[in-house]
Amino acid sequence: MNSTFYQNKDTFLVAVDCIIMGFRDNELQILIARRRMEPLKGGWSLMGGFVNATESINEAAKRVVEEYTGIDNIFMEQVGAYGELNRDLADRVISIAYFALVDMDLFDSSLIEKHNTRWVRITQLPELIFDHKKMVDNTINILQRKAAIKPIGFNLLGDQFTLPTLQSLYESIYQERIDKRNFRKKLLTMDILEKMEEKDKSSSKRGAFYYRFNKEKYDQLIEQGLHFSL
C-alpha cells in the first residue's frame, strides 16, 4: 500500500478484541485466555489479535473468533473503539472490540489446550488485562438493550430449547429474575416459537417440551410493522 501521502503522520497499531459469549449451566459464559506474551504475561485476556494489512477490521474479528472457537458464521457486532494513549503498555494500540454469540455445543473443545483458554461465568470473571473489563461491561449493556427488542439471544442456544432454558438465558443477560408467566405470555403471543413433539426429561419426569425459533415467522412479524419485545 502506497504511504507517500501520509509520510508526516504518526502511525500506530490496530487490533481487534473479541468478547466471545456462550450459555451453559443457566448462565452466560465468556471465553478468556492466559496471556502468553509480555506485557502482563500470565494475565487473563479476551481473544484478540492485530489487523493484517490485507484484511478489514470485520474480517480480522471473524478470523480471531473462528481461530479460538472453530466456528464460522457466528453472530457478531461491533462494540466500539478503545484508544486511550496508555491502554497497552507495549505500544500505541487502538483496539476495535466485537462481541460474538456462540452456541457452545458447536465449540471445538480441542482448542482450549491449544490456546490456553477457558470458559468462565459472567458473574465470576477474574481481573482482566488492559481495558478488557470495560469492553465486557459495554458488551453487557449493549446485549441487554438489544435482547429486549431483537431475538439475538437465540444465537446462544442450539436448534431446539425448552422455555425454562430460554428464561434462564434472559435472566442471565439481565442479571435478574423474570416473572415466568409474563415471560411466556409475551413469547408465545408473538408466535415465533415452534413447539416440538420431543421433551427434555433431564430435570423432571414430566419434562419440558422443546421449542424452535421460527425465523420465517419473525421476518413476517417485522414486515407487518410489529416488533420483538421482551
Mean pLDDT, rounded, for 5-10: 86
Answer yes or no: are the C-beta atoms of 100 and 58 closer than 8 Å.
no
Within 10 angstroms of residue 96's Cβ, the number of other Cβ atoms is 21
- Reference 189, options 150, 140, 226; nearest CA is 226
Mean pLDDT, rounded, for 63-92: 95
Answer yes or no: are the C-beta atoms of 155 and 69 closer than 8 Å.
no
| CATH number assigned to the domain covering 11-147 | 3.90.79.10
Are the folds of 11-147 and 152-223 the same?
A: no
Q: How confident is the model at residue 207 (pLDDT cuts 50, 70, 90)?
A: confident
| CATH number assigned to the domain covering 152-223 | 1.10.10.10
| Amino acid of residue 141 | N
Residue 129 C-alpha cell reads as 488485562
Domain extents in the chain = 11-147, 152-223
Instruction: Look at residue 134 and give its three-state secondary structure.
Output: helix
Q: What is the pLDDT of residue 154?
A: 94
C-alpha span between 220 and 139 (Å, rounded):
29
Residue 73 region by backbone torsions, left for phi larger than 0, else alpha for psi between -120 and 50, else beta: left
Name the residue with cell 484508544: 83
- Reference 21, options 100, 139, 123; nearest CA is 100
Q: Is the pLDDT of residue 32 over 80?
A: yes
Answer yes or no: are the C-beta atoms of 18 and 97 closer than 8 Å.
yes
Q: How confident is the model at residue 1 (pLDDT cuts 50, 70, 90)?
A: low
* Lowest mean pLDDT, pick from 50-54, 166-170, 198-202: 198-202
Name the residue with cell 454469540: 101
Mean pLDDT, rounded, for 171-196: 93
Mean pLDDT, rounded, for 111-136: 97
Q: How confident is the model at residue 2 (pLDDT cuts 50, 70, 90)?
A: low
